[in-house]
């Protein structure tokens, strides 16, 4: 029987060259009956884990290798034969990447020879006869040990293959270097040749019409069966057989990677003993004797003991010590932080101060965090203030060194818009047409442009080139573009990190990343520490500082007054703009229905507007029971303890898992396997076995089949995106804290939000509008009165900071503040004392920031433009300008002009809302404030600036739009058919008029849209321009 192993194969992790995913290649190789399949991406091991996982699934052996492209020699393939050789290959790649800019790798021949022990190398033979190649072959043969070097040859279908292969075979025999056959594979099947050609054009920044010789001459660079390879190499059968010889020699598997985590204790100390001591010490502080006279509650003590035993069994103590130390550092530096995610299911994490979830208040499910059966590492996510997280990251690098700590990678992939943009250019479509097509795609979705939408855009989808472009763009969606750094996932090792995986420079200074992403890390059971950024923590810290500064009170997350009825009443009105997690349209719609009265209600509020409960049909039953419209019942008596707090309706991941355990007879490990299978159900399709057991178990225990199906659908939704109860509780604490600050200190809350931008759903203009609606007096930025940050004057006055001025830097703001003792008298005085460039002064003038010296923006601009770049040193101390120009009378600016320039400089205006100036020219338009007083079902038209567009995945294509006029906001609901009809204005308009019927129910008011009109052109009327223009008004923010 003829057998063959493909040894030269590029996945699509050879960016813009390989035209197939690793799983496609593995499945095809197995279907063709290949003995093994190698992976040799260019100077990279980024795709090897995915190939390893995919090959294992289909039963073919993967060979872990790499193509080395060198700076001073021909390319060759490198295959490690064992674990030690793999470490050398990884170190070699790390060396090349760390000496090169991000995305590049500089490796020389001497580097390869220094790391060559234990590896086999395949020197790639030339595609054309080249007499200089003999010197290259001899150089490698003399530098490597006997038996390490092979000569690789491929059939190129170019007419002279037989002659070229004879020549290469002759060289191989003469030099004692065995010839081996490869097919230099770029894709799994011939059908991907066109995509490979397009990617070649993208890579070379050319078009399909101009690429010429860069394109493949045929579609033969796909996987081939052994029989076909033997036919192509019929004159050299030994070359095919040698592929098996190499495959047998290269026995290394990624399963051999032994991951050694740092001990995290001084030599001679035991990590588990240290963790136990820290845990009980923390428990004593969490449950002090003045509040708990009986000591640590028995239930907590039992939970902690059980968790510590499981941590010891799994040997995870060092990991907990790492996270504890990181949190300790942050708190010592006064950096707000809080653990969340599945780690919040841990009583040990609570005692260590990592999380804020008290196990006495929430029904924890530790198996959601660590399971002895699955033997996988825990995952602890810790959020830090987003503006200070870098201090934490650099602490980790200082403690472990960049040789032992690195951020995981994130694979940046082609989405619908980027794929169509790149393919359109490569196919030679006009820039205008590409822009029109990509402009019709919503956000970062994975759906391209279909024929119907193309017709609506005024293009012919039957045009052969356009049709092919749309097809190829769809194929490219999901392909890797490049590697970036994870937002904060660290891999930390006891020995050199480069022995585990190649390490590269990140784009940011003083950072390095490994080549594998979080899914790769999970597949290999490697521990990851997540150091994440959360803007709301920055906002809360800033607010606490301002409260202390203004009122002399110092609050912390743990000391803030709890269960304030006024705070819950505010949330019940959906007065939650800026409040963490509950400012989205969906959350604002839920708040009046749920009417939170206590902290646990906020836990439910955070979790209920998620795909899990929505997809499982649990939301409305819960609300009906909460509002006493229907009675609270339980599907079986045994589930009452599990579902009592949520009125018999499962809303959390832990509840869904416990329903599987109690109601369907699953073990804790089986329930977690079910959850994890659901998380990947679209990839592996192996859910049905869980489905059948779940439904059968529930019915056997007397449960209603319909309820069982709904529960299963809910778990499926959690696989997409859902909250465990512990995670929701962590977030609910921040909901309450931010709402408390908003209610009691609205000026401070607005200042903290503005000083923490960018974050949240709403832009500064809406934060300012909301503050004014809460009685806050808002004052504009001013050269004599503003600092960099927004500040609070008194208790209810907000002074905007210089940070809001577009293009004005903090360094320039610091100069303004440091030099203004006694105040500035005019722009010349500011220029002379602060020594700002004229360009910076112009930004201040355009922002109307000279009002305190008696100049509006036009007069200030006139004065600034009379200045030079810098005052000469000889005259820098003069008290007045060297020559006074006669004052020229300047015409006053119209209010509309001021508003437009305000938006251009600050993205907001305190002088007037654009709609108030256009209102007289918009007859029949209902102001937003009247919608709440309009009866349900009435038809009307409203208009406003577009603030937010949102198309949640759980909304089945429904789009939510928020408009703003001078009276408030209007919430639009656009059904899928209406969205397709009015897609263009929805996606591009800055100002919209919407006609539809009012939906007014339970305090929630929407306008269900029937038609939309783009009114963006009307904005040009503010300045009297005749040519329609959107001016500086923003497009609005898009969310999913």
Q: Give the model's confidence band at 714: pLDDT under 50 very low, under 70 low, under 90 confident, else very high.
A: low
- What is residue 955's predicted lDDT score, i.e. its pLDDT? 60
Inter-CA distances, 388 with 239, 328, 380, Å: 59, 15, 19
Domain 914-1039: state its class: mainly beta
From 253-262, 456-465, 466-475, 549-558, the region with the lowest mean pLDDT? 456-465
Between strands 503-505 and 480-492, the pairing is unpaired
User: Which string of DSSP letters, residue by residue, matches 870-929?
Assistant: S--GGGTT-SS-SSPPPP---PPPPHHHHHHHHHHHHSS-SS--HHHHHGGG-TTPPPGG
Burial 907-940 (b: 16+ CB within 10 A, else e): bbbbeebbbebbbeeeeebbbbeebeebeeeeeb
Considering only CA atoms, which of 475, 416, 470 is closest in space to residue 446?
A: 416
Handedness of CA 803, 806, 812, 818 (dihedral sign): negative
Strand partners, 409: 485, 517
Strand partners, 123: 76, 151
Considering only CA atoms, which of 327, 325, 324 is closest in space to residue 335?
A: 327
- What is residue 559's predicted lDDT score, i.e. its pLDDT? 86
* Residue limits of CATH 1.10.150 in the chain: 770-882+890-906
Cβ within 8 Å of residue 628, ≥6 positions away: none
Cβ within 8 Å of residue 1033, ≥6 positions away: 903, 914, 945, 990, 991, 1016, 1019
Residue 866: is its pLDDT beyond 90? no
Average pLDDT over residues 641-652: 88
* Top-confidence residue, 635 or 154: 154
Write the pLDDT tens digit of every residue in 349-400: 999 999 887 777 766 555 556 666 556 667 788 999 999 999 999 999 999 9
- What is residue 445's predicted lDDT score, i.e. its pLDDT? 54
CATH of the structural domain 5-188+223-256, one choice from 3.90.850.10, 3.10.180.10, 1.20.950.20, 3.20.20.140: 3.20.20.140
Dihedral of the CA atoms 860, 862, 863, 869 (nearest 10)? Answer: 110
Residue 124: is its pLDDT beyond 50? yes
Considering only CA atoms, which of 646, 548, 602 is closest in space to residue 737?
A: 602
Q: Give the model's confidence band at 158: pLDDT under 50 very low, under 70 low, under 90 confident, else very high.
A: confident
Average pLDDT over residues 591-618: 85
| Cis preceding-peptide flag for 758 (omega within 30 of 0) | yes
Average pLDDT over residues 766-782: 96
Cβ within 8 Å of residue 889, ≥6 positions away: none
Average pLDDT over residues 451-464: 78
Average pLDDT over residues 129-156: 93
Write the pLDDT tens digit of every residue in 813-841: 999 999 999 999 999 999 999 999 999 99
- What is residue 682's predicted lDDT score, i.e. its pLDDT? 45
Residue 870: is its pLDDT beyond 90? no
- What is residue 882's predicted lDDT score, i.e. its pLDDT? 42
| Cβ atoms within 10 Å, residue 963 | 24
End-to-end CA separation in angstroms for the chain: 54
Do residues 120 and 148 make contact, with C-beta atoms less than 8 angstroms apart? yes
- What is residue 687's predicted lDDT score, i.e. its pLDDT? 54
Average pLDDT over residues 114-126: 96
- What is residue 63's predicted lDDT score, i.e. its pLDDT? 98
* Residue limits of CATH 2.40.50.140 in the chain: 914-1039
- What is residue 612's predicted lDDT score, i.e. its pLDDT? 63
* Top-confidence residue, 30 or 377: 30
- What is residue 883's predicted lDDT score, i.e. its pLDDT? 41
- What is residue 1004's predicted lDDT score, i.e. its pLDDT? 84
Pull the structure tokens for residue 645.
């707090």
Do residues 427 and 465 make contact, with C-beta atoms less than 8 angstroms apart? yes
Residue 5: is its pLDDT beyond 50? yes
- Please return the burial class of 113, using the count of CB atoms within 10 Å of its CB with bins 0-12, 13-18 and 19+: middle
From 307-311, 605-609, 879-883, the region with the lowest mean pLDDT? 879-883
Does residue 563 come out as left (phi exceeding 0), alpha (psi in the -120 to 50 range) or beta? left
Cβ within 8 Å of residue 242, ≥6 positions away: 150, 178, 179, 180, 181
Q: Give the model's confidence band at 639: pLDDT under 50 very low, under 70 low, under 90 confident, else very high.
A: confident
Instruction: Report the SS3 class of residue 197.
Output: helix
From 81-85, 88-92, 346-350, 883-887, the region with the lowest mean pLDDT? 883-887
- What is residue 1016's predicted lDDT score, i.e. its pLDDT? 93
Between strands 503-505 and 380-385, the pairing is unpaired
Cα gap 1025→1006, rounded to integer Å: 34
From 655-669, 798-812, 982-996, the region with the lowest mean pLDDT? 655-669
Do residues 529 and 326 make contact, with C-beta atoms less than 8 angstroms apart? yes
Do residues 505 and 100 make contact, with C-beta atoms less than 8 angstroms apart? yes
Considering only CA atoms, which of 276, 258, 7 is closest in space to residue 122?
A: 7
Residue 190: is its pLDDT beyond 70? yes
Instruction: Report the SS3 class of residue 767.
Output: helix
Q: Give the model's confidence band at 875: pLDDT under 50 very low, under 70 low, under 90 confident, else very high.
A: very low
Inter-CA distances, 615 with 465, 486, 862, Å: 40, 29, 61
Pull the structure tokens for residue 853.
């010296």
Inter-CA distances, 142 with 131, 151, 168, 396, Å: 18, 14, 18, 44
Burial 204-224 (b: 16+ CB within 10 A, else e): eebebeebeeebeeebbbbbb
User: Which string of DSSP letters, residue by residue, matches 407-450?
Assistant: EEEEEEE--HHHHHHHHHHHTT--HHHHHHHHTTS-TT-S----
Write the pLDDT tens digit of every residue in 672-708: 777 666 555 444 445 556 788 888 888 888 888 888 8
* Top-confidence residue, 716 or 39: 39
Q: Give the model's confidence band at 455: pLDDT under 50 very low, under 70 low, under 90 confident, else very high.
A: confident
Cβ within 8 Å of residue 825, ≥6 positions away: 853
Do residues 669 and 367 make contact, with C-beta atoms less than 8 angstroms apart? yes
Counting runs of H as helices and runs of E as strands, what totals does the chain give?
Answer: 43, 24
Pull the structure tokens for residue 93.
């790649």
Instruction: Report the SS3 class of residue 1004.
Output: strand
Average pLDDT over residues 875-892: 56
Strand partners, 1014: 992
Inter-CA distances, 863 with 809, 816, 843, Å: 21, 17, 13
Largest CA distance in the chain: 100
Average pLDDT, the chain: 89
Cα gap 964→921, rounded to integer Å: 17
Residue 404: is its pLDDT beyond 50? yes
CATH of the structural domain 770-882+890-906, one choice from 2.40.50, 1.10.150, 1.10.3470, 1.25.40: 1.10.150
Inter-CA distances, 425 with 62, 207, 780, Å: 36, 7, 45
- What is residue 308's predicted lDDT score, i.e. its pLDDT? 93
Cα gap 982→442, rounded to integer Å: 13
Edge-to-edge strand order for the sheet containing 149-154?
66-68, 76-80, 119-124, 149-154, 179-182
Average pLDDT over residues 14-38: 97
Structure letter (DSSP) for residue 803: G
From 48-62, 69-83, 129-143, 685-699, the region with the lowest mean pLDDT? 685-699
Cα gap 829→842, rounded to integer Å: 14
Q: Tally the C-alpha atoms within 13 A of residue 783's C-alpha that lie toward its C-beta.
A: 38
Residue 327: is its pLDDT beyond 60? yes
Average pLDDT over residues 121-142: 92
Number of residues that make up the chain: 1040
Cα gap 887→879, rounded to integer Å: 19
| Cβ atoms within 10 Å, residue 692 | 10
User: Which string of DSSP letters, residue by residue, matches 632-675?
Assistant: ---SSGGGHHHHGGGTT---SHHHHHHIIIIIH---HHHHHHHH
Cβ within 8 Å of residue 15, ≥6 positions away: 480, 481, 482
Instruction: Report the SS3 class of residue 573.
Output: coil
Q: Tally the C-alpha atoms within 13 A of residue 69's C-alpha that lie toward its C-beta.
A: 9
* Residue limits of CATH 3.20.20.140 in the chain: 5-188+223-256
From 373-387, 395-409, 730-744, the region with the lowest mean pLDDT? 373-387
- What is residue 488's predicted lDDT score, i.e. its pLDDT? 84
Q: Angle, nearest 10°, between helix axes 565-572 and 725-744?
A: 100
Residue 874: is its pLDDT beyond 50? no
Structure letter (DSSP) for residue 344: G
């Amino acid at each position: 029987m003829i057998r063959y192993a493909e040894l030269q194969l590029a996945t699509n992790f050879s960016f813009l060259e390989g035209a197939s995913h690793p799983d496609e290649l593995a499945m095809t190789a197995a279907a063709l009956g290949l003995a093994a399949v190698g992976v040799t991406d260019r100077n990279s091991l980024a795709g090897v884990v995915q190939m390893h996982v995919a090959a294992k699934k289909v039963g073919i052996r993967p060979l872990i290798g790499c193509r080395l492209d060198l700076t001073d020699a021909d390319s060759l393939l490198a295959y490690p034969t064992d674990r030690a050789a793999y470490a050398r290959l990884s170190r070699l790649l790390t060396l090349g990447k760390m000496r090169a800019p991000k995305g590049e790798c500089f490796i020389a021949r001497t580097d390869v020879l220094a790391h060559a022990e234990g590896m086999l190398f395949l020197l790639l033979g030339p595609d054309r006869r080249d007499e200089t190649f003999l010197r290259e072959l001899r150089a490698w043969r003399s530098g490597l040990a006997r038996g390490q070097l092979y000569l690789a040859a491929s059939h190129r279908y170019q007419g002279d293959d037989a002659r070229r292969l004879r020549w290469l075979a002759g060289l191989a025999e003469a030099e004692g270097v065995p010839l081996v056959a490869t097919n230099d594979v770029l894709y799994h099947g011939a059908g991907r040749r066109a995509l490979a050609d397009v990617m070649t054009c993208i890579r070379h920044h050319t078009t399909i019409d101009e690429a010429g010789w860069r394109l493949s001459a045929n579609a033969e660079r796909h996987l081939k069966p052994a029989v076909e390879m033997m036919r192509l190499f019929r004159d050299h059968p030994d070359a095919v057989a040698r592929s098996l010889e190499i495959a047998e020699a290269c026995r290394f598997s990624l399963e051999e990677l032994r991951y050694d985590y740092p001990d995290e204790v001084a030599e001679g100390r035991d990590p588990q003993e240290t963790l136990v001591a820290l845990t009980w010490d923390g428990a004593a502080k969490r449950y002090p004797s003045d509040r708990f006279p009986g000591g640590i509650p028995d239930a907590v003590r039992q939970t902690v003991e059980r968790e510590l035993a499981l941590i010891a069994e799994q040997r995870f103590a060092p990991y907990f010590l790492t996270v504890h130390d990181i949190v300790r550092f942050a708190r010592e530096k006064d950096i707000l932080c809080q653990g969340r995610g599945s780690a919040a299911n841990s009583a040990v994490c609570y005692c260590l101060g990592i999380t804020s979830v008290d196990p006495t208040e929430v029904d924890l499910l530790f198996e959601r965090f660590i399971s002895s059966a699955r033997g996988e590492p825990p995952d602890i996510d810790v959020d830090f203030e987003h503006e200070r997280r870098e201090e934490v990251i650099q602490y980790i690098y200082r403690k472990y060194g960049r040789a032992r700590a690195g951020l995981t990678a994130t694979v940046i992939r082609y989405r619908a818009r980027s794929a169509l943009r790149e393919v359109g250019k490569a196919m030679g479509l006009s820039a205008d047409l590409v822009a029109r097509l990509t402009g019709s795609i919503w956000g970062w979705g994975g759906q391209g442009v279909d024929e119907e939408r193309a017709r609506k855009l005024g293009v012919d989808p039957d045009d052969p080139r356009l049709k092919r472009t749309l097809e190829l763009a769809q194929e490219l969606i999901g392909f890797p573009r490049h590697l970036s750094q994870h937002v904060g996932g660290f891999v930390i090792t006891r020995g050199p990190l480069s022995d585990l995986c190649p390490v590269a420079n990140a784009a940011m200074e003083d950072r390095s990343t490994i080549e594998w992403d979080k899914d790769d890390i999970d597949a290999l059971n490697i521990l990851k520490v997540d150091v994440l950024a959360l803007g709301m923590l920055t906002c809360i810290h800033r607010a606490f500082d301002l409260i202390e500064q203004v009122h002399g009170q110092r609050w912390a997350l743990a000391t803030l007054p709890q269960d304030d009825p006024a705070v819950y009443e505010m949330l019940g009105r959906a007065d939650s703009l800026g409040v963490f997690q509950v400012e989205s349209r969906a959350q604002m719609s839920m708040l009046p229905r749920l009417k939170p009265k206590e902290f646990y209600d906020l836990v439910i509020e955070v979790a209920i507007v998620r795909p899990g409960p929505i997809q499982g049909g649990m939301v409305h039953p819960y609300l009906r029971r909460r509002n006493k419209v229907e009675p609270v019942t339980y599907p079986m008596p045994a589930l009452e303890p599990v579902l009592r707090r949520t009125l018999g309706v499962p809303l959390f991941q832990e509840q869904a898992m416990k329903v599987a355990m109690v109601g369907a007879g699953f073990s804790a490990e089986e329930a977690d396997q079910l959850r994890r299978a659901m998380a990947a159900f679209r990839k592996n399709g192996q859910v049905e076995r869980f489905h059948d057991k779940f439904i059968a178990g529930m019915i056997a225990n007397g449960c209603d089949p319909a309820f069982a199906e709904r529960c299963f659908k809910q778990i499926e939704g959690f696989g997409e995106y859902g909250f465990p109860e512990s995670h929701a509780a962590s977030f609910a604490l921040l909901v309450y804290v931010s709402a408390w600050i908003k209610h009691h200190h609205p000026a401070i809350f607005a200042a903290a939000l503005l000083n923490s931008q960018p974050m949240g759903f709403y832009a500064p203009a809406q934060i300012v509008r909301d503050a004014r609606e809460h009685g806050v007096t808002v004052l504009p930025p001013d050269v004599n009165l503003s600092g960099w940050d927004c500040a609070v004057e008194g208790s209810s006055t907000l002074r905007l900071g210089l940070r809001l001025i577009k293009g004005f830097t903090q360094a320039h703001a610091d100069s303004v503040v440091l030099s203004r003792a006694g105040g500035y008298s005019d722009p010349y005085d500011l220029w002379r004392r602060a020594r700002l460039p004229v360009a910076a002064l112009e930004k201040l003038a355009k922002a109307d920031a000279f009002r305190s010296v008696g100049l509006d923006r036009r007069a200030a601009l006139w004065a600034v433009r009379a200045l030079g770049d810098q005052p000469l040193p000889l005259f820098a101390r003069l008290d007045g300008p060297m020559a006074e120009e006669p004052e020229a009378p300047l015409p006053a600016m119209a209010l509309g002009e001021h508003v437009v320039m305000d938006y251009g400089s600050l993205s907001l205006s305190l002088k007037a809302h654009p709609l108030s100036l256009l209102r007289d020219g918009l007859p029949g338009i209902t102001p937003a404030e009247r919608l709440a007083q309009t009866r349900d079902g009435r038809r009307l038209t409203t208009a406003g600036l577009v603030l937010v567009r949102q198309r949640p995945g759980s909304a089945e294509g429904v789009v939510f739009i928020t408009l703003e006029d001078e009276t408030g906001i209007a919430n639009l609901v656009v059904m899928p058919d209406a969205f397709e009809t009015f897609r263009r204005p929805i996606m591009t308009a800055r100002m919209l008029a919407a006609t539809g019927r009012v939906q007014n129910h339970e305090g929630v008011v929407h306008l269900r849209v029937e038609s939309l009109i783009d009114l963006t052109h009307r904005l040009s009327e503010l300045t009297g321009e005749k040519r329609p223009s959107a001016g500086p008004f923003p497009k609005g923010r898009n969310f999913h």
